[in-house]
Amino acid sequence: MLSSKQRQSVYVGIVVLFLASVVMAADLGVKHHEYLPSVDAPGSTLAQTPFQALVPAILGTREIMASLLWIRTDDYFHRGEYRPIIRLVKLITTIDPHQIDVYATGAWHMSYNFMDKRLIREGLEFLADGVKNNPNIYDLWFESGYTHMDKTHDFPAAIRWYKDAITKKTTEGKPAPMYVGFQLAHAYEKAGLIDEAVKQWEVNLERTNEVYNKNQRDFAAMQNHGVAMNNLKMTKWRIGDRRDNASDQADTQLDFTVKRIGPRRLMVEGTINVLDLSRVLVTIRDKNAHQWDDKDIDTRLANQTLEWDSVQVRGGKFKHELKLNVDPADMGRAAEEIYPLKSDEYELSVQFNPRTQAVFIQDRYGWNGEGLTDQRYLKIDPSRAGVVEGKTVPLRYVEKVVTLKKSDIM
């Protein structure tokens, strides 16, 4: 048994320890917010999340819950069931906003795999959300740049994202990989900003040189060094070569016809006097497509119609069937879900843009279309001007647009 003195000491000990625990808890509570987003913080996404997302976030199991949901998402993907994926990836990133691969892969699903052009914007917004939550990691900045480069062909936007990506780090705290600088140079070139592209290849070469000189037996260093050297050389050579070609402007003589071959099926057939393996972009969209710019995703998916395809030219001819009667990804969606066709009028365009052509095609027509013309459909766009050898060169491209009535399609 404890003596009364010992008992007193225990009582004192209890009081002291209790006060110490309260002080420590108050201090830790504040610091712990670093580890867990506050539920009631102003603007907290958690405050608006459904309960199933809130519970793991608070219980301290959000990382595992996010990981397990991600495994489920992957399972859906491999089974070809794409429908639940968007909802799941958004839920996962709400629970754990640092799942970089979920942002990257989720955006890839939206922009690519669902084959619904309206979702590209959704994919880009998802990436932007990921960037906001992981601003110091290069991955999602790079993914945003890549999607603009490859999908929207908005090369100035790609440049902006890549320029930021190059200043960020990997998740291991290392500098962004070399290919980010390479992509930035390619984006400059695609945007027609050739002087900037040369400068970037010079920077890339300098960086690869540095690494290569440290370890000349490193195969990847050697490869990167070779890529930078070759691209710098080729870009400089092309400046002269394409300058010469630009003096002889080719008349593309673009023309095409549109024929309804069935309900929601259009055959676009035409001629264009360009090199074999050039590509024309066939696009169908609502007549007043800009009306969707400020609309939310649900409204857009319910009403907007948007489809395009890049079609190869052979022997001066091209032919493409726009199938607005089937799900392009064969996901079992009704055609009306992807192509609502709710407007009264539509624009169908065929465009030849030199900036989206392969390198050997660009060699003939130039980065900015310096070497092409068209008596009827030439467009000159100073807002997308390039810069070559210090001179500003507006973008020249060829585009014919026809208006279709709903009845022409249905």
Q: Kindly state the helix (H) or strand (E) to which residue 325 belongs, with its residue range.
A: none
Is residue 215 a contact point for other proteins (CB under 8 A)?
A: yes
CB 91 to other proteins: min, Å: 16
Is residue 208 a contact point for other proteins (CB under 8 A)?
A: yes
Contact with other proteins (CB under 8 A) among 81, 150, 206, 218: 218
Q: Helices (H), strands (E): how many in the chain?
A: 15, 10
Is residue 209 a contact point for other proteins (CB under 8 A)?
A: no
Is residue 325 a contact point for other proteins (CB under 8 A)?
A: no
Is residue 75 a contact point for other proteins (CB under 8 A)?
A: yes
Stretch that binds other proteins, among 92-100, 236-244, 296-304, 363-371 (CB under 8 A): 92-100
- Site string (100-139) toward other proteins, x via CB under 8 A: xx---x----------------------------x-xx--
Q: Kindly tell me the burial class for residue 108, based on how many C-beta atoms sit within 10 Å of its own C-beta (0-12, 13-18, 19 or more).
A: middle
CB 134 to other proteins: min, Å: 7
Q: Kindly tell me the burial class for residue 311, based on how many C-beta atoms sit within 10 Å of its own C-beta (0-12, 13-18, 19 or more).
A: middle
Is residue 27 a contact point for other proteins (CB under 8 A)?
A: yes
Whole-angstrom distance, CA of residue 130 vs CA of residue 110 = 14
Q: Which is nearer to other proteins, 58 or 401 (CB)?
A: 58
56: Cβ contacts below 8 Å, ≥ 6 apart: 62, 64, 65, 66, 95
Stretch that binds other proteins, among 4-12, 242-250, 293-301, 361-369 (CB under 8 A): 4-12
Residue keyed to tokens 């016809």: 257
Contact with other proteins (CB under 8 A) among 34, 244, 294, 296: 34
- Site string (264-303) toward other proteins, x via CB under 8 A: ----------------------------------------
Task: With beta carbons less than 8 A apart as the criterion, state whether 198 and 192 touch.
Answer: no
Contact with other proteins (CB under 8 A) among 8, 38, 213, 230: 38
- Site string (45-64) toward other proteins, x via CB under 8 A: -------------xxxxxxx
Among 269, 255, 184, CA closest to 401: 255
Is residue 2 a contact point for other proteins (CB under 8 A)?
A: yes
Q: Kindly tell me the burial class for residue 375, based on how many C-beta atoms sit within 10 Å of its own C-beta (0-12, 13-18, 19 or more).
A: exposed
Q: Which is nearer to other proteins, 184 or 284 (CB)?
A: 184
| First CA to last CA distance, the chain | 95
**What are the two backbone dihedrals, phi and then psi, of residue 315, each rounded to the nearest 5 degrees?**
60, 30
Contact with other proteins (CB under 8 A) among 98, 151, 163, 236: 98
Structure tokens at 69: 């949901």
191: Cβ contacts below 8 Å, ≥ 6 apart: 155, 156, 158, 159, 355, 384, 386
Q: Which is nearer to other proteins, 81 or 381 (CB)?
A: 81
Is residue 76 a contact point for other proteins (CB under 8 A)?
A: no
Compute, in degrees rounded to 10, the torsion defined by CA atoms 110, 116, 120, 122: -60
Compute, in degrees rounded to 10, the torsion defined by CA atoms 346, 350, 356, 362: -160
Stretch that binds other proteins, among 11-19, 189-197, 244-252, 334-342 (CB under 8 A): 11-19
CB 158 to other proteins: min, Å: 18
> What does the angle CA 109 – CA 107 – CA 299 come to, to the nearest 5 degrees?
90
Q: Which is nearer to other proteins, 101 or 336 (CB)?
A: 101
Whole-angstrom distance, CA of residue 118 vs CA of residue 99 = 25
Task: With beta carbons less than 8 A apart as the criterion, state whether 264 and 324 touch.
Answer: yes
Site for other proteins in 143-172 (CB under 8 A): 169-172
SS (H, E, C) 347-362: EEEEEECHHHCCHHHH
Is residue 95 a contact point for other proteins (CB under 8 A)?
A: no
Q: Contact residues for other proteins (CB under 8 A)? A: 1-2, 7, 10-11, 13-14, 17-18, 20-22, 24-29, 31-32, 34-36, 38-40, 58-64, 66-68, 70-71, 74-75, 78, 96, 98-101, 105, 134, 136-137, 169-175, 177-179, 207-208, 211, 214-215, 218, 220-221, 223-224
